[in-house]
Amino acid sequence: MTVEALVVTAASNATLFSVQALHLSQYKRFGIISPQPFVNSGQPAQGVYLNWALPDGMTQGIKKQGANNVDYPFLPNRWMIVRFSADASVPRAAWIVESDYWFGSNQPSDNRLVNSMFINADDSGNPQISIIGQAYDFDSWTENGQNSELFLNAVGNSDPMFTAYAGNNAFVFNFVDPYTNANAAEMSYMVCGWYSNPQYDPLYNQPIPGVTGWTTEQDWLDLMTQLQWSVGSEAIADNIDLTNAMQAAANWLAAQGITPLPGLLGTLCAQSLCHGLVFDVQWPGNNVEPPSNVPVFNSTDKSVPYVAAGNTSTDCMAAFMQWQLNYNNPNPHNPGQDSDVELLLEAFNYKMLPQPGAVMDTPELMNAMHNAWFGKLPGGTIWVVQTQPNNDKAKSTLDSNQQPNTNAPASLTPQQATALANLNAQQAAYDADCRQLISMQVQLYADWMKMNLDPIAPIKTQLAATLAAVNVLIAQLSADEALINAAHAVLVADLSTANLQVINKPGNSFYTPNDPVFLVNNAKRSYKRGEDIIYSKDNDSLFVRFTGQFIKSLQVNTGTSEVVVNGSVVCPPLLITNQVPKEIPALLTEAYLLDTTFANNIAQIAMQQTNPPQSIINTIQQQQTLIWNAALDSSLDQRTLEQISGFNPGDPLFHVPSKIGVWQWQQPWNPLYLEWQVNFYQAVDTGLSQWVFDGSDYSWGGGNIPVNNQNQQPLKGRSLLTPVQAVTLQSQLQDFLNTYKGQMLPNEYIPLKDVLNGVGDWDVLSQTLKGLTMQLIQWDIQQFGYIPTTPEYAEPMEYVPGNPTQVQAVGHGMPIVMNGTPFYPVRAGFVEILQLWVVDDFGQVYDLNPSTSSGGGVPNPMPPIPAIGFEPGSYSLNLQLPQYFQLPPRVIQGSRLDFNFVSANNDAVLSNQDVATTPICGWILPNHIDDSVSVYDNTGQILGELTLMGATGAQHAQWVAAPLIGVSSMKIANAHLQSFVQGLLGNTGNDEGSAWSGRALANFMLTIDETLWSVDPLGERDNQNLSILIGRPIAVIRASLQLELYGNPATDLTIAKTGQNYNGNIAQYSFDTQIGNIDLTGDGVMGYFNADNYSQFNSVHYGEVVTPASPPYVVNSFTKLQFLAESPSYITLLLDPRGSIHTSSGILPVLEIILPDLYVGDVMNNMLLEFKTGPLIMDTQTWKVPLPAGAGLKWSWLQPAQVEEELAWTEVTSLVNQTAAVQLPINSPSIREGKLKLTGALGSQPSIYFFGVNNFTVPYTIPAGITAQLSWAAQGASATLTIDKGASVSVPLNSAGYAFNGSGTQVVTLAVLDGTGAVAQTIPITIITES
Amino acid sequence: MNTQPNITQLKNYLNMPEVQALLKDIALPEGQVQQWLGRLMLLTDVPFQNIIADTRLIPTESLRFFYVDPTWIDALMDGALSVGSDTSLDLMFTEVMASVVKVAGTAIAAQIRAGLLGIEPDNAAGVLPNPNQLMSGLLFRSSIVSDWPGLHIVPTYADESISPVPLRFEKIGGDMILIIFPGIPESVVIQQPSQALVFGVMDGNTETEFDIYLRGIGVGGFATGAEIVVNKEPDAVSFSSTDTSFFRAGGNQVLNVNTIMGTLATQMQAAGALTGSLSPSEFALQLAKTPEEVTFSNQTLFK
């Protein structure tokens, strides 16, 4: 336990203090509770202020297995403080702090700096508020709390800094020694803490709430691990450290005449004792100013603080390093040369570091960054069906990571399908109601608060209405839950007989924008809290000891002999009572031996003389600190060091305590809070006319930044500072660079090394400006709420639906109801930093931008280093920092872009893996060589093609029905597919397109063609070979798209707006949305038709349409979406199914949707392909036709003819492959044009596409002495090659050259297998000796 | 609106001559493709109907000389290279690369036969054959092809730099041989295989007539082995199959050596090429029969 002492004398005046207690007295008056930022609380009274950091194991929550919530252990509530000194002028003194002393209606009589208050519920749940914490002189104290109920934990008052900040814990975890001596002196303090009621000790064996309990040794060890405590290394043979500790405890108990408890209770520890020592505290004399470690703004040295502002601490870190390396502290390797360390660090952080030489600003990295700028809320549930897990072993090993048998869509009966669709509809309504309930509970809470503040009639009416509505909704939800459960049960039963199962998938998530993050450098971070294990070399635990392992003596070499000095001689006996732990005198003795200021005393005793030589004193001091000084950089074993240091000679059981508990004094500085005040300038209209959306985010395009008094809103708050981000990044970076040890670090990565090696300043602290954003919708989340106690309000407010989708919002924050408070549902504007304070646990303040004017008053705005996304307008980082940073438009309330696949036949039905709900309307296959588009239905049946016809310059699109099975465009079954065709024809009643259609089709073809240039998704679909043969089939897919708010829209909460339900016109904002992204190679979207308008194709790429159709067919505008739309927008997407769909709107993270493979797989395999072929010379008697190579492909010839003026087709199915072999025609050949038709055999079956000998033709006759090269291409799971009667050899599925030697005639067989079957091909090879 | 017309940029980039030059340097497809193209260039793997569409074009016992139409080969290459072209990007790439790939294919074409014969291809020194060099060939459908394995077909070229090794020399069916020459030969000689020395007589003017052409034996100014020419005509002994004095009795068409030798000696003495009688070796010289060969001269080249 780290104890620190702040020395305050009457002359202390250099440091600003801000020590404030929670204003809990305001609780029942509905006032502001949390301390306000920038309050100068004045100089504290002189004395020595002690503040101790509780062990991490006690301050960190423990999440038990299976539990939803986190339990916080109770905290020690009794503390003994002993002041002692080698300096005779300072008498030894001892005090007791009762942390949980409850003043109730009394007031403390001492003159304390703040009255720390606590709120606690009484037995009936009513909040009780009191000042807590009392200190006593040890001699006048008696224990009364052996059996009392403890209530303190690390999140007391819902305040995570409860145990740390001086304003909250005066005389709780904090003590003031009112030392006022005018003369200089030095002193030391020891602090010991324990539980007045040992049942609340986390080590206690009997479970009570908050305590885990244990029965076996293993339980105890697990508990210790949970608490991050360890008595030594368990890895050592027989756990010798624990055995020794237990032995030491037994010895000590025996010496004290204490009978141990029976069993493990007597040998293992069931009680904890926290102790810490701060020694060599220098009191300069009451009229002398003590030193200070608070950083000061100093522009002459390098200690000027910089503040980076960004969406995440990583962004801030990256921007800060960019600034440091390129401008503030230029790169030593390339002075004057900018290095893009910002993107390098971002890429490193997102594990997307490019290979040297590659570009860094990939859209993928930008997306990863953008996605980190949001918080996530669950988006409900969608039910889908799937076939039962496939038990086929071969199959399951092939795709063990996949959902069972996802390759086939389920096939439901109409009854099942209806049941499933209903379940989904019910679930969607229920999820929406749950979200609505949460938003209305917030509203109810706000109304209730307002009523308490200002019980006027309109508020009462509003409150009653909200309460009634919430109650109605709750009743509705409980009923709906039952209905959903019943519907689900019925469906499950119904499906089980059909070998189908219904599973739930998460719906699209909701997102909230993060608050901005500030990063501050040169604030001097501290390791006092949360870093207990910092000195643990071997494991991740704090080293702790058993009773009896104390240091009792020190062996001193006097130069002539070795003298053992017993601590009890150095330390005058401490008289204690039975009310404090018996270990305390021993710990005090140990403290004397560890305190270097007692080295002189120890030397006197050892030497038996009053003026021992300084060299002996120095040696003793070295012995006392040897273990700390050596341990950090020595490979020496801890035990060896302990023995070298001369403590407890001959005692194998003792241990030196962890360094965190033995602290040489210096004035403390432990930054805790960032207090911030900024001016926010809202700048947005509902059309977002001044913000430019570039497909991924908005940037300011409105010219001069509008900052003026009209739109200025000062915002302020107090946030906790943390160094975690920097620490993590630093160590990851170190690990990464270590991988290059011994090798050359690529030039591109050198900036990473620079930032690691101190060109960058790693003394950084960062914090989210928590609550900034919510203040814009009038919610102050810094406050903790007053929770109503009357069931009338408490119950509906706290009701959690059976399927909770969010933790309760009530009780976190407070509405800001002052009239005139602006209400901005969309955050968009600019931020100016006005004032920043860093406050430490003693309340010391570091003012980051003190006023430059001598009169004080007006703070000096600090220019921020803007991180990515925060650069105002077109600013890019340079030496001159901007006055403002930008906050591009974000919707403050939780929102989502809900993208779902819907049934191709019915927009109202979500795709649920039932084959009838497939979102695929059909397929198109563009043929870029002759500018035509083949159109298929969703089973892969060809319907016809759109092609250009007519004279050059006057071409029109023409629908040509496919041979035999094709249909007229008027008869295409799927409405969307038909509309697509008819939209291109510009004609709904004729297969011949309008005059407009020729250009439309040409434009369309060009756009698709050029889109395919950069859209090259190498997805993991099976059909890689398909595109080589026929191009890329594009799916025509139906989907719904909607911008949704999480629950009801937030409303203006000010008293004046009560009952008006004013939501800031959120519905009028229209947000650009991009569907598909041409810059992402994994994206497969070609474009889409919006809102059933098939006369206009929204392409992801506009291309260079030289002669656009008029009106244009291909456009490239973003789709505008609005909240609170009556129904979703429906779109028909053209998608290369190997790629995914990215939707981005700037205001939300990029949503990536993948079309489930099960809709695609078989269809693509069965797709019937026709190739216009001819002129071909062929023998039409025997139908000899040259056919593309490839085993297993089935071909037929479609021969057109005119029958009664109509085109009629004949299909010839038995074709003879015409090869290069001499086959002199028997019959007169003729020249034919027609279509070659290919069916099946692509993909699912194992196939051999080619197998032969390089450079030779069939029959293979190879001169002797030549090494022939076999080559083959096959598809399947594995392949083997067998040469003649030899053994089969495993070979790859594709080979360009497999050496073959032989003689005579040999038969070579290639066999390919997969889970579904096998195929083999054999070739004879003859080796001849003549040439 | 998307603000990044990156496709346009890419297009312009690919159209830059430097980029195209670089592409040609580095993006040559792997050997297998060139192998395939080289083979195609020699009409390997071309469906037979596209070479001979109708039987009447090459009846039995016929010989057809042809030129290989470079335009047709170009079209074939284009077709081959268009496999897998999905987009105009692929098309553009193919256009850029076509010429390089074709040159590479030509080199392979020249290597294929040389490789089979185990000799150094002519382009081994790094000199690629001119891809625009006109190729020619012949198709020979005859029982000679099936009856005389190892038929020699030897081209001679006016341009001596052209390799005499044909690019393709392949029996493609029982009685059909396809030969492709790397240029246009001046003449092509078709020879019987010359495995051994045989005795025989030559066919005469009629079906029943045989000729024995006389050869000098180093007497009377007639060099040994040289044809004896009298009055600018080769001197020969002719006899008819019905002339019984030249055959032994028995009707088995066995020559009567005595009669023949006598007749030959008389005729040679008359020509002044013999004094006395023929020794057995001198007689054998008269009856040694050289392999038959036919020479086809290219009429067009000398006009």
Nearest in space to A892 (alpha carbons), one of A450, A369, A375, A445? A375
- Establish how many alpha carbons lie within 13 A of residue A982's alpha carbon, considering only the half-sphere containing its beta carbon: 18
Residues B201 and B147 in one domain: no
DSSP state of A545: -
Residue B35 contacts A, CB cutoff 8 Å: yes
Maximal CA-CA distance, chain B: 111
Residues B173 and B82 in one domain: yes
Residues B101 and B152 in one domain: yes
- Structural domain count, chain B: 2
Please indicate, yes or no, if residue B303 is contained in any of the structural domains.
Answer: no
Q: Are A1063 and A1118 in contact (CB under 8 A)?
A: no
CA–CA gap between residue A226 and residue A232 (Å, rounded): 15
For residue range A870-888, list pLDDT tens digits in order. Answer: 988 888 888 888 888 999 9
- Phi and psi at A1214, nearest 5°, equal -100, 95
A928 closest CB neighbour out of B1, B8, B88: B88
Distance of CA B27 to the CA centre of its chain: 36
Among chain B residues, the shortest Cα distance to A693 is held by B1
Compute the nearest-CA separation of A1008 from chain B (Å).
9
Residue B54 contacts A, CB cutoff 8 Å: yes
Please indicate, yes or no, if residue B19 is contained in any of the structural domains.
Answer: yes
Please indicate, yes or no, if residue B22 is contained in any of the structural domains.
Answer: yes
CA–CA gap between residue A209 and residue A274 (Å, rounded): 21
Measured at the alpha carbon of residue A454, what is the angle toward residues A819 and A709, in degrees to the nearest 5?
A: 10
Residues B218 and B257 in one domain: yes
Strand partners, A50: A5, A175
pLDDT of residue A1134: 93
CB contact under 8 A, B44 and A1257: yes
Residues B123 and B144 in one domain: yes
Share of chain B above pLDDT 70, in %: 87
- The DSSP result for A228-294, as a single string, is TEESS-TTSGGGHHHHHHHHHHHHHHHHHTPPPPSTHHHHS-----EEEEEEEEEE--TTSPPP---
Report how far apart, in Å, the C-alpha atoms of A1071 and of each of A371, A688, A1302 are.
18, 8, 72
Give the predicted TM-score (pTM) of the model: 0.76
Nearest in space to B212 (alpha carbons), one of B222, B224, B223, B203? B203
End residue of a domain, out of B143, B159, B194: B194
The two tokens of residue B280 are 């057995």
CA–CA gap between residue A75 and residue A59 (Å, rounded): 8
CA–CA gap between residue A701 and residue A689 (Å, rounded): 8
If you search the block for the tokens 């308008």, which residue do you land on? A1093
Residues B65 and B119 in one domain: yes
SS (H, E, C) chain B: CCCCCHHHHHHHHHHCHHHHHHHHHHCCCCHHHHHHHHHHHCCCCCCHHHCCCCHHHCCCCEEEEEEECHHHHHHHHHHHHCCCCCCHHHHHHHHHHHHHHHHHHHHHHHHHHHHHHCCCCHHHHCCCCCCCCCEEEEEEECHHHHHCCCCEEEEECCCCCCCCCCCEEEEEECCEEEEEECCCCCEEEEECCCCCCEECCEECCCCCEEEEECECCCCCCCCCCCECEECCEECEEEEECCCHHHECCCCCCCECHHHHHHHHHHHHHHHCCCCCCCCHHHHHHHHEECCCEEEEECCHHHC
If you search the block for the tokens 């800031």, which residue do you land on? A1064
- Chain A interface mutation, best of B6, B64, B87, B170, highest count of A Cβ atoms under 10 Å: B87
CB contact under 8 A, B1 and A1223: no
Residues B212 and B272 in one domain: yes
Paired sense of beta strands A1184-1185 and A1216-1217, if any:
parallel
Compute the nearest-CA separation of A1187 from chain B (Å).
10
CB contact under 8 A, B86 and A1179: no
Among chain A residues, the shortest Cα distance to B5 is held by A1103
CB contact under 8 A, A1178 and B49: yes
Distance of CA A1265 to the CA centre of its chain: 65
Distance of CA B115 to the CA centre of its chain: 18
Query: Is pLDDT at B65 greater than 50 in this prediction?
Result: yes
Cβ neighbours of B132 (radius 10 Å):
8
CA–CA gap between residue A1017 and residue A1312 (Å, rounded): 28
Please indicate, yes or no, if residue B132 is contained in any of the structural domains.
Answer: yes
pLDDT of residue B148: 78
Residue B30 contacts A, CB cutoff 8 Å: yes
CB contact under 8 A, A1101 and B2: yes
Chain B contact set for A1220 (CB, 8 A): 43-48, 172
CA–CA gap between residue A19 and residue A39 (Å, rounded): 8
Which residue stretches of A454-562 are H helix? Answer: 457-496
Compute the nearest-CA separation of A1213 from chain B (Å).
20
The two tokens of residue A985 are 């024809």
Q: Are A1008 and A1086 in contact (CB under 8 A)?
A: yes
Residue stretches of chain A with pLDDT short of 50: 390-406, 805-807, 855-856, 1019-1023, 1241-1243, 1331
Chain A contact set for B50 (CB, 8 A): 1177, 1186
One-letter amino acid at A1204 equals E
pLDDT of residue A981: 94
The two tokens of residue A211 are 């305590």
Q: Are A904 and A920 in contact (CB under 8 A)?
A: yes
Instruction: Please report the residues numbered 108 through 137 in chain B whose beta carbons come closer than 8 angstroms to any beta carbon of chain A.
Output: 112, 115-118
The two tokens of residue A1031 are 């191009």
CB contact under 8 A, A1116 and B3: no
Residues B158 and B206 in one domain: no
Please indicate, yes or no, if residue B131 is contained in any of the structural domains.
Answer: yes
Instruction: Taking residues B151-170, report their average pLDDT.
Output: 83
Residues B140 and B277 in one domain: no
Q: Are A727 and A533 in contact (CB under 8 A)?
A: no
CB contact under 8 A, A1027 and B49: no
A1281-1286 contacts at long range (C-beta below 8 A, 24 or more positions apart): A1281/A1308, A1281/A1309, A1281/A1310, A1281/A1311, A1282/A1308, A1282/A1309, A1282/A1311, A1283/A1307, A1283/A1308, A1284/A1308
Among chain B residues, the shortest Cα distance to A1028 is held by B84
Nearest in space to A552 (alpha carbons), one of A540, A566, A563, A562? A566
Please indicate, yes or no, if residue B301 is contained in any of the structural domains.
Answer: no
CB contact under 8 A, A1032 and B3: no
SS (H, E, C) A1201-1215: EEECCEEEEEEECCC
The two tokens of residue B275 are 């004094």
Residue B57 contacts A, CB cutoff 8 Å: no
One-letter amino acid at A1196 equals S
Q: Are A548 and A633 in contact (CB under 8 A)?
A: no
- Phi and psi at A474, nearest 5°, equal -65, -45
Element (H, E) at A556: strand A553-557
CB contact under 8 A, A694 and B44: no
pLDDT of residue A1019: 43
pLDDT of residue A982: 94
B49 closest CB neighbour out of A1102, A1225, A1265: A1225
Please indicate, yes or no, if residue B302 is contained in any of the structural domains.
Answer: no
Strand partners, B198: B289
CA–CA gap between residue A771 and residue A773 (Å, rounded): 6
Residues B44 and B188 in one domain: yes
Q: How many residues does chain A have?
A: 1331
CB contact under 8 A, A1178 and B4: no
Element (H, E) at A419: helix A414-453
Q: Are A1294 and A1025 in contact (CB under 8 A)?
A: no
Nearest in space to A310 (alpha carbons), one of A767, A787, A734? A767
Q: What is the mean pLDDT of chain A?
A: 82
Helix axis angle, B88-117 to B17-26, nearest 10°? 40
Among chain B residues, the shortest Cα distance to A1079 is held by B6
Please indicate, yes or no, if residue B297 is contained in any of the structural domains.
Answer: no
The two tokens of residue A4 are 């620190």
Residue B75 contacts A, CB cutoff 8 Å: no
Residues B157 and B217 in one domain: no
Note down the domain range covering B173.
7-194
Residues B189 and B210 in one domain: no
Cβ neighbours of A60 (radius 10 Å):
18
One-letter amino acid at A1085 equals V
Compute the nearest-CA separation of B205 from chain A (Å).
35
CB contact under 8 A, A1220 and B87: no
Q: What is the CA radius of gyration of chain B?
A: 29
Compute the nearest-CA separation of A1294 from chain B (Å).
13
CA–CA gap between residue A209 and residue A219 (Å, rounded): 17
Q: How many residues does chain B have?
A: 303
CB contact under 8 A, B49 and A1263: no
- Chain A interface mutation, best of B2, B40, B64, B112, highest count of A Cβ atoms under 10 Å: B2
Among chain A residues, the shortest Cα distance to B117 is held by A1331
Element (H, E) at A1174: strand A1169-1178
CA–CA gap between residue A145 and residue B151 (Å, rounded): 121
Compute the nearest-CA separation of B160 from chain A (Å).
25
The helix/strand/coil state of A190 is strand
B7 closest CB neighbour out of A1014, A1221, A1266: A1014
CB contact under 8 A, A1229 and B53: yes
Among chain B residues, the shortest Cα distance to A1031 is held by B86
If you search the block for the tokens 């032994």, which residue do you land on? B248
pLDDT of residue A294: 87
For residue range A577-605, list pLDDT tens digits in order. Answer: 888 888 898 999 999 988 889 998 889 88
CB contact under 8 A, A1229 and B44: no
pLDDT of residue A931: 77
CB proximity list for A788: less than 8 A, separation 6 or greater? A448, A794, A797
End residue of a domain, out of B173, B194, B215: B194
Residue B195 contacts A, CB cutoff 8 Å: no
Range picked from A631-640, A1052-1061, B29-38, B85-94 for highest mean pLDDT: A1052-1061
pLDDT of residue A1177: 83
B46 closest CB neighbour out of A1179, A1220, A1229: A1220
Q: Is the ipTM of this complex over 0.85?
A: no
The two tokens of residue B190 are 């078709």
- Chain B interface mutation, best of A692, A699, A931, A1009, highest count of B Cβ atoms under 10 Å: A1009
- Phi and psi at A729, nearest 5°, equal -60, -40
Compute the nearest-CA separation of B11 from chain A (Å).
10
B54 closest CB neighbour out of A1013, A1186, A1229: A1229
End residue of a domain, out of B194, B228, B246: B194
